[in-house]
Amino acid sequence: YAGVIKNKNGLGAPAFANGLTSVGVITATGGFSGNVTGDVTGNVNNSSNLILKTDNAERVRIDSTGKVGISTGNIDPSGNQLLIRAASTVGTNKGHIMLTGDSSVVGEGPQIVFSESGPGANWAGAYIGHTRQGGGSVGDLRFGTRAAAGDANTVPTERLRISNTGAIGLSGANYGTS
């Protein structure tokens, strides 16, 4: 049992060179700061925000209601479920929300899928996706919606496609002119 633990000089906190293991709850009444190298698991019981920093700058904030803000400075989700702030210019590869696909197979690519949640209704209702047509990110942009109720195996029907050459097709690859 100890009321206060100090380093050997009695002037500061001790160093735990081999780590510190707790079999119970650790309560940090003055907050917690420090460097984490490795995985962090468990629960954070806090009545306000969880703030993650790198290089002393706030990068991620999760507020007490579960809303998430991502940025390179102090960021408050301000009522949004997810808020990402960064400079973005089309034609660059930085400052975007980027979805990448792991496949290099023609006809496959990353998608944003819209679905409802709840009992029996958590299947894809619509999508926006990029499908690879060649190397170097060449591909088509596709939009699809669900035509009728179905099950998890019912894929939304493609409604609009914009090809990598600018041609527009309705209900798939029914291209007219660019």
DSSP 40-74: --S----SS-EEEEETTEEEEEE-TTS-EEESSS-
Is residue 93 over pLDDT 70? Answer: no
**116-144 average pLDDT score:** 81
**83-100 average pLDDT score:** 69
Please indicate whether residue 130 or residue 47 has the higher confidence score (pLDDT).
Answer: 130
Handedness of CA 63, 64, 65, 66 (dihedral sign): positive
> Mean pLDDT of all residues in the chain?
77
pTM for the full predicted model: 0.58
Residue 120's pLDDT is what? 62
Q: Which residue has the tokens 């650790």?
A: 26
Residue 99's pLDDT is what? 72
* Of residues 159, 81, 163, 83, the one with CA closest to residue 125: 159
**Contact present, 20 and 5 (Cβ < 8 Å):** no
